[in-house]
Structure 1
Amino acid sequence: MKKITILSAFMMLTFFTYAQSGAIKGKVVTQQGLPISNANIMIGNSGMGTMTNANGEYQLHHLEVGALTLRASYVGFTPLSVEVVVKPNAITIVPDIIMQEKQEQLDEVVVQGRRNEYVVREPSPSLRLRTEIAKLPQNIQVISGELLQDQQATSIMDGVIRNVSGVTMLEHWGHFARIHMRGFRLPAFRNGVNVQDSWGPLSEDMAFVDRIEFVKGPSGFMMAAGEPGGFYNIVTKKPSEERIGKVSLSTGSFDFYRGSFDLGGKLTDNGKLLYRLNALYQTGDSHRGHEDSERWGIAPALTYRFSDRTQITTELNIQNAESYIGAAYVFAPVADGYGSLDRNFKFTDTNYPASEIQQLTFFTNLRHDFSENWGFETQFAYLRYDQEGQSFWAWSITDGGDADRRVTQWDALSVGKYFQTYLNGSFNTGAITHNILGGFDYTQKVYWADFSNVVAIDDVPFNIYNPVYGQANPLPFDRSDPIQYRNGGEPYSGNTLRSYYLQDEIGFWNDKIRFTLAGRYSELLTQGKEDQDNQFSPRAGISIDIVPTLSAYALYDQSFLPANGVDFTGDTFDPIEADDVEGGVKKSFFSGRLKTSLGAYRITKKNVLVTDPENPNFSVQLGEVLSKGIEFDLQGEVTPEIDVVLNYANTNVEITQDTDPTLIGQRVAGHAKHVTNGWFNYDFAETTALKGCAASLGYQYQIDRSTWAWGADSQSDLPDYFRLDGALSWKNDKFRVQLNVNNILNEYLYAGANYGTYLYWQSEPGINGRVSLTYNL
């Protein structure tokens, strides 16, 4: 009772003593009334600001009540300042800011109005949060579309992860990306929906991607049933009122050819019906040869605006891809060591067939704003992933180099149905502000797989020192029955998840101090487990503005994983729980054009299944894993000519509790202890002879590596990894020409593991390049 009285007194004191705050909302347009996207909106010289969205709209919250100066700037337009009076506990609508084009050459525009290509200040709507990223008690890093273009990434497997601290990709199956962060696998989200599968989904193609958001930690506002490292969210390109027309052609090493286009704009004069249409076609080989594959996809999207407050968006994405699953692996005796075979050595036969993959995703999103402060979104999503193919592996290899090569039938069908509905709102209780988020999530996933047929493909052993190709036996796989009816008709995996959540961001002292209190209640029914897991996951955080450009945060969050099976007595297991405690600081420089974050975390994963010492064929829940580390990210504009991405992470994951005392303190595979990456882009000044030219240079450096491996969790004998990449480009209003060169130093780079009886690894190509031409319609 005494604690409640003290808390009540504190709340009453806050109510009467803290000043009120307000918000502003508006739009930036040309003299013709067309929206200007990515215009800079700044509050005087405070360093606070934002950028307009694709519709030219902007919002700023948590502002002091009273008069302020709003400054708008954009390259090619005259900077403009307007006076605004912020009203208490309300959103002030600012009249449209009409910017005038400048006709002369402008050094001033280069300095003040140049678009900041690498900094994204606001999370996407699919993350459900309306607070600026710098003000959130969470480490969220965003990879912008402009950065993806500078690096000429075509899929998420093209080194995209280099842009976020501590993120690594463990091995390469070719058709999907297994991405790890903080020592745990990251689930793949698309537009706020968790689409992760055991061996999927299909790796994201950048032709359809607007941005990628990496959210670190359990992130209870989006999920609770999952690994505690975080997740990455692919945000697809959406319809826009702004006219979009872009065609790109690329060619490069290993017979790489690719074409894509991106179209968008209004379908009706009144702007009620908007569209976006993206498509791609790609062919190419690998550095090993005889792996010709193709990939194509098309993604139409429509938005219909019923009114200024209500709109519905529907997206369809159809992709078809070929993948040589397992063909990247190379095997050798332990005595030979990693990299003992040529970088281009081919372990599969020259006639090893490609696996066929078709993937369809469908999203429908309805958004309605009841008022300036309250609104809701409802989203339905459907994913179907259909794969027919095979996977390669060597079962053994002798000291003399004779390999037992085998191929497994690798057919899969995954169907996911998703429903989300959530409410956002803001209100004040006196001088205290509240940002409310609450809703309901539903997920139903079923994954059928046929991995049962394994065949030895050689009558005569394949010798790595004297390889003979073209002698492999044909694959006798039976696909006469649909995959749903094979293996007794039982799915390989699946789950049904229902969860309810509520979150309140509570602001004090003009929102300079922000408390986050939240909880999620999950009901998870897992395939093969009779009992349902019911779990409550709390979340608490605080974010404090020390000065307008510097904030500090702390967070406590939880996640859980289902634990299948039973112990020796027949009892089912409790969910595997994980607690995350972290904190850090976020600092912006140069009026918000450069942002940095520095944080530390400690994740404890409890109730991990370990071997029962009295009954070795069963498990008990006595295991614990500890992941801890520090992370630093820098992203943005150092000078008007220089954009930079720079990051570093120190990650340590080890066993802290086990029935086998000798395992305590042992390293858990799946991370590199030290990872640092950099990307530097220099745009030559508008007034020089090199107008329109740019040069980029980037590196990836991993130290003390350990990758995911069967039976090799304690192995960390991989050498350090260093890769240097670069790019040159030229552009004007219509054209962009770009050359990217990867692995400039021609290093023999690989990932792999010591299996105990042999080594395996996957090599990257040597120095290779790609040229692209983009035309703006």
Structure 2
Amino acid sequence: MGATALVTAMSALALGSADDARAHGQLPHEDVVEIVRSYEIPAGRMSTALNRLADASGVLIVYDAALTSALTTRGLSGVRTLSAALDALLSGTRLGYDVAADGKSVMIVLAQNDKGVRGDAGAETLPAIDIGAEQNAPAARNGGGRGRGAGDPSRETGYARSSTASATRTQTPLIDTPQSVQIVPREVIRDRQILNVLEAVQNVSGVQADNSGIFYDNFLIRSFSSGYGRSYRNGLRVDGTGGTVDMAFTDRVEVVKGPASMLYGRIEPGGFVNVVTKRPQEDFAATLDTQFGSWGVSRTIADITGPVDAEKTVLYRLMGVYDRADSWVNFDHRNNGAAALYLTFRPTENFEANVQFEHYEQMKSIRPGQIPVALLYDDSGKPVTIPGFNDQPAKLSRRYNQADNEYYSQFPFVVHRTVYAFDWTWRFADKWKVTNAFHYIDAHENQNAIFTSGFDGVTASRSFYVGVVKRYQLSTNLNLIGEIDTGPVHHELLAGVDWFHYGDDWPSTGWLSSFPALNVWAPSYGGVGPLMHSVADAGRDNTLFASRWQNFGAYVQDQIGFFEDRVHLLLGGRYDKAEESYGATYGSDSASCYPFCSPYPMQRNPDTTPLSPRVGLLVKADPDTSVYGSYSRSAGTNNGRGAAGDMFAPERGLQWEVGVKKLWMDGRLSTSLALFDLRKKNVLQADPFNPAFSLAVGEVTSRGVEFDVAGQLTENLSVIGSYTFNSVKITDDNDNGNVGRRYYGAAPNVGSLWAKWDTAPGAREGFEFGAGFYAMDRRYGSNDNSWYMPSYVKFDAMAAWRTVIAEHDVAFRFNVKNIGDERYFENSNGYNTAAYGAPRTFLGQVSFKW
């Protein structure tokens, strides 16, 4: 029997069986359709939504692909019965459904007047149909493919993700979002054995790791720094942090590009990185992973999740990780541990709450291997490259370290950090809900470091800093989200408020600028321990600094769909106010003025409450193709005070963006192309009449093209890749001589590609093979363009084997990073040093699942 005839026969059998059961009053399928589950299916293609409903419910859904190919759905969100979920997805169409007698399959039918069929009404004889989804089997849940998820990206699998809430604060399909957003899912993190978020973003166009923050994770997004160790955790701001969330607790990394002040307040205009944590699962699962490799890497992760009660109203996830390693750099080590407990509460169909706790204990070195650049300075204080060094960092061994062998043993960088977080959602009507998210982060750090402060070609001058910082921050938002129709126009509305507060105190700080110099070509280490202790003792009661930042905003957004959902208009605006306070000793008696020594509150000026608008227009040529354009403005934080004591206006960002997004192969592969023009204004530049102060007159312009691809090319082949062309130049610098020069650290061309071949996708047993590259063009290490870091290409590879041992899934994975042992510089500090990237590195992993 041919495939068409077989499917037609299955359709007739399903309908006939349902009629017979109904005639005899036996309706076992009624119990099935009334089972309550949680669904998160975004608006989008009807066929994709039905597939996700089938995956989430475990029920076979059969439909005619010809009937659904041109249909879209508004999706659904919340805890519902299967029948209610089907009603919501099919609302507004001429489709209905019928459930088979055994309750294991659902037939989507064209509605007419047969009251026996659920949905809009009636049924019409269907042509030959395709099977759009199959029941979940254990094998399908363990592998790639199209995923279990119902629109929630955390429940999807594979390299592609279909939706995100990061860009709009509502779960919106990426193809309907008029903005460039890319996602690095957990499968890529696993396959490439990514150990930190700085490595994860190398899979995304327009983003580079930027370690100029010394102690923190910084990113260059569309060539602009992300800020003071700033990233986002589940959509809430985190400042002054390195390693926002351990990769063991991370589900995915989302990158939203372009100004985002409309929803996120004071933010750098390039965009932001949002780390999304894992969530508790309804079914019990336990994994134990062990990683090992070059430089003494030893990393163990335990992850247990499941329901607390039989009704699955309370779910839990308990995770722990221990991570220690040395380094290819002398005297560089880490010894870190972390634990997390996540709980989900679902007491009713309309309410859900999540509570999270994380604690980190870290001991590590900071910024090892600051390879110096040989610079002299002219009479005006501008750097001049020493001849013979070819305008590049000194060609030192990758093992070189400006620190000392007594540094890590006596003055390591120590972090104690605890995160308390919760979020809740109350659905008080069919398409209306209130959401609230909150986190509080408490951190105590010993920030100790030996820095390179100058280099004459032979000798590097060094400085030593020792300090204690107490840091706390809280971030929260409250949102009202709903949908209404005004005639043929559909509105998805968002109104909300958010608040962020940050504070830090530096109660014990010491600084020695005349630390013993080092001959970089023949370094001699040791004997500096007593000196470091004397600096620490002298600064024990010295309060160097204290600061408080807070930001309040109110915002509204309307995502408007019309012309049968083929045109989407996004309108949004934000009212915002910020306040900053600083205090510093600068030679005063710290004991008498702590915690605010000589404080000067950063009072608001007329431009501290600007409107941050966003407008986006997206047109869908078909359900899988969209073309968009957008305009947005952003506001950054205040920059400080000028020589006259007047407040600087905050930095402002302005961007135009146009792009094309395309889904291929029934949504399994996605591509996006974006062109942008982004300007950052009010950048601080030197005041020529008061060298110790600045003026907010600078401007930097970033223009570029970005391309991203992610998903499956075939059933066996998964890919993720990107390409960036970015021309970023200084367009105003108050006559300091840098106009027309490139912004530091930003390469004009960057590309990456990773591909994985799975011999048995979705099966518990099989082999995987992966390979990829990362290529970066030459880029300047400072804004005066006096020196540069050469271009490079590095290659990676992976092999893995999945098998079953004693009914348990076991996987063995082996990765080689930088196969050719390419010698390259990863980033600069924007001034006078650069940092080498890792040489050839081997990583192995053994994973057990219960």
TM-score by length of 2: 0.78
* Counterpart for residue 472 of structure 1: 528
* Counterpart for residue 508 of structure 1: 562
Residue 127 of structure 1 and its aligned partner are, at CA, apart by: 5.8
Residue 574 of structure 1 and its aligned partner are, at CA, apart by: 2.1
Q: Distance in 2 between matches of 1:339 and 1:482?
A: 33
* Counterpart for residue 406 of structure 2: 351
Residue 557 (structure 1) aligned with residue 604 (structure 2)? no
Residue 210 of structure 1 and its aligned partner are, at CA, apart by: 0.7
Q: Distance in 1 between matches of 2:192 and 2:86?
A: 30
* Counterpart for residue 477 of structure 2: 420
Residue 238 of structure 1 and its aligned partner are, at CA, apart by: 1.2
1:344·1:765 contact (CA, 8 Å) conserved in 2?
A: no
Shift in alpha-carbon separation, 1:715–1:586, aligned structure 2, 3 A: farther
RMSD value, Cα: 4.0
Residue by residue, what CA displacement relative to the aligned partner does 1:268-320 show, whole Å, maximum 9, x if unpaired?
01111110111101111011244332111000011111201101110001011
Q: Distance in 1 between matches of 2:64 and 2:286?
A: 30
Counterpart among 657, 665, 671 of residue 596 in structure 1: 671
Counterpart among 216, 234, 239 of residue 196 in structure 1: 239
* Counterpart for residue 17 of structure 1: none
* Counterpart for residue 703 of structure 1: 777
Moved more, 767-776 or 530-539: 530-539
Residue by residue, what CA displacement relative to the aligned partner does 1:351-396 show, whole Å, maximum 9, x if unpaired?
2122111111111111100122000111221011221131111223
Q: Distance in 2 between matches of 1:40 and 1:613?
A: 73
2:371·2:393 contact (CA, 8 Å) conserved in 1?
A: no
Residue 292 (structure 1) aligned with residue 321 (structure 2)? no
Residue 184 of structure 1 and its aligned partner are, at CA, apart by: 0.9
Residue 35 of structure 1 and its aligned partner are, at CA, apart by: 5.2
Query: 1:274-293 maps to which residues of 2 (within 5 A)?
Result: 274-293=315-334
The residue identity in structure 2 corresponding to 1:314 is V
* Counterpart for residue 67 of structure 1: 94
Of structures 1 and 2, the larger Rg is shown by 2
Residue 150 of structure 1 and its aligned partner are, at CA, apart by: 0.6
Counterpart among 462, 466, 475 of residue 518 in structure 2: 462
The residue identity in structure 2 corresponding to 1:195 is V
Secondary structure of the structure 2 residue equivalent to 1:414: strand
1:38·1:54 contact (CA, 8 Å) conserved in 2?
A: no
1:43·1:49 contact (CA, 8 Å) conserved in 2?
A: no
The residue identity in structure 2 corresponding to 1:444 is H
Counterpart among 822, 828, 833 of residue 747 in structure 1: 822
Counterpart among 505, 519, 544 of residue 448 in structure 1: 505
Residue 257 (structure 1) aligned with residue 332 (structure 2)? no
Query: 1:163-562 maps to which residues of 2 (within 5 A)?
Result: 163-171=203-211, 176-186=216-226, 187-197=230-240, 200-331=241-372, 333=374, 334=386, 335-336=388-389, 337-338=392-393, 340-353=395-408, 354-399=412-457, 401-449=458-506, 452-455=509-512, 461-474=517-530, 475-476=532-533, 486-487=542-543, 490-491=545-546, 493-528=547-582, 529-532=601-604, 533-562=608-637
1:393·1:407 contact (CA, 8 Å) conserved in 2?
A: yes
Q: Distance in 2 between matches of 1:769 and 1:640?
A: 28
1:247·1:776 contact (CA, 8 Å) conserved in 2?
A: yes
Secondary structure of the structure 1 residue equivalent to 2:440: strand
Moved more, 363-372 or 407-416: 407-416
Residue 450 of structure 1 and its aligned partner are, at CA, apart by: 6.2
Q: Distance in 2 between matches of 1:619 and 1:641?
A: 57
Residue 456 of structure 1 and its aligned partner are, at CA, apart by: 5.9
Residue 770 (structure 1) aligned with residue 770 (structure 2)? no
* Counterpart for residue 6 of structure 1: none
Residue 584 (structure 1) aligned with residue 629 (structure 2)? no
* Counterpart for residue 46 of structure 1: 69
The residue identity in structure 1 corresponding to 2:846 is L
* Counterpart for residue 791 of structure 2: 720
Moved more, 277-286 or 54-63: 54-63
Query: 1:53-202 maps to which residues of 2 (within 5 A)?
Result: 65-68=92-95, 82-83=108-109, 100=135, 117-124=158-165, 128-157=169-198, 159-171=199-211, 176-186=216-226, 187-197=230-240, 200-202=241-243
TM-score by length of 1: 0.85
Shift in alpha-carbon separation, 1:633–1:506, aligned structure 2, 3 A: same
1:79·1:113 contact (CA, 8 Å) conserved in 2?
A: no
2:303·2:317 contact (CA, 8 Å) conserved in 1?
A: yes
Shift in alpha-carbon separation, 1:293–1:746, aligned structure 2, 3 A: same
The residue identity in structure 1 corresponding to 2:603 is D
Shift in alpha-carbon separation, 1:631–1:331, aligned structure 2, 3 A: same
Shift in alpha-carbon separation, 1:663–1:728, aligned structure 2, 3 A: same
The residue identity in structure 2 corresponding to 1:82 is I
Shift in alpha-carbon separation, 1:480–1:433, aligned structure 2, 3 A: farther
1:250·1:257 contact (CA, 8 Å) conserved in 2?
A: yes
Residue 207 of structure 1 and its aligned partner are, at CA, apart by: 0.1
Q: Distance in 2 between matches of 1:168 and 1:40?
A: 45
Shift in alpha-carbon separation, 1:246–1:83, aligned structure 2, 3 A: farther
The residue identity in structure 2 corresponding to 1:583 is V
Any gaps of 5 or more consecutive residues in structure 2? 1-43, 113-117, 122-131, 149-155, 375-385, 583-600
1:166·1:676 contact (CA, 8 Å) conserved in 2?
A: no
Shift in alpha-carbon separation, 1:391–1:466, aligned structure 2, 3 A: same
Residue by residue, what CA displacement relative to the aligned partner does 1:603-661 show, whole Å, maximum 9, x if unpaired?
12223333344555544343222111111001100000100012111112212234317
The residue identity in structure 2 corresponding to 1:506 is I
2:510·2:538 contact (CA, 8 Å) conserved in 1?
A: no
Q: Distance in 1 between matches of 2:337 and 2:353?
A: 27
Residue 267 of structure 1 and its aligned partner are, at CA, apart by: 0.3
Q: Distance in 2 between matches of 1:524 and 1:428?
A: 36
Shift in alpha-carbon separation, 1:265–1:714, aligned structure 2, 3 A: same
Q: Distance in 2 between matches of 1:320 and 1:394?
A: 27
Shift in alpha-carbon separation, 1:344–1:620, aligned structure 2, 3 A: closer
Shift in alpha-carbon separation, 1:119–1:134, aligned structure 2, 3 A: same
Moved more, 173-182 or 60-69: 60-69
The residue identity in structure 1 corresponding to 2:234 is N
Q: Distance in 2 between matches of 1:678 and 1:609?
A: 37
Q: Distance in 2 between matches of 1:494 and 1:306?
A: 39
Residue by residue, what CA displacement relative to the aligned partner does 1:149-187 show, whole Å, maximum 9, x if unpaired?
011112213x21121102111237785321111111223
**Normalized per residue, which structure has more helix?**
2
Shift in alpha-carbon separation, 1:747–1:69, aligned structure 2, 3 A: farther
Identity %: 24
1:391·1:410 contact (CA, 8 Å) conserved in 2?
A: no
Residue 577 of structure 1 and its aligned partner are, at CA, apart by: 1.4
Q: Distance in 2 between matches of 1:580 and 1:332?
A: 35
The residue identity in structure 1 corresponding to 2:571 is L
Moved more, 571-580 or 419-428: 571-580
Q: Distance in 2 between matches of 1:212 and 1:576?
A: 27
* Counterpart for residue 707 of structure 2: 632
Residue 327 of structure 1 and its aligned partner are, at CA, apart by: 2.2
Counterpart among 714, 720, 738 of residue 663 in structure 1: 738
Shift in alpha-carbon separation, 1:323–1:695, aligned structure 2, 3 A: same
* Counterpart for residue 38 of structure 2: none
* Counterpart for residue 11 of structure 1: none
1:142·1:212 contact (CA, 8 Å) conserved in 2?
A: yes
Q: Distance in 2 between matches of 1:597 and 1:54?
A: 30
Q: Distance in 1 between matches of 2:396 and 2:98?
A: 61
Any gaps of 5 or more consecutive residues in structure 1? 1-20, 73-77
Secondary structure of the structure 2 residue equivalent to 1:222: helix
The residue identity in structure 1 corresponding to 2:94 is A
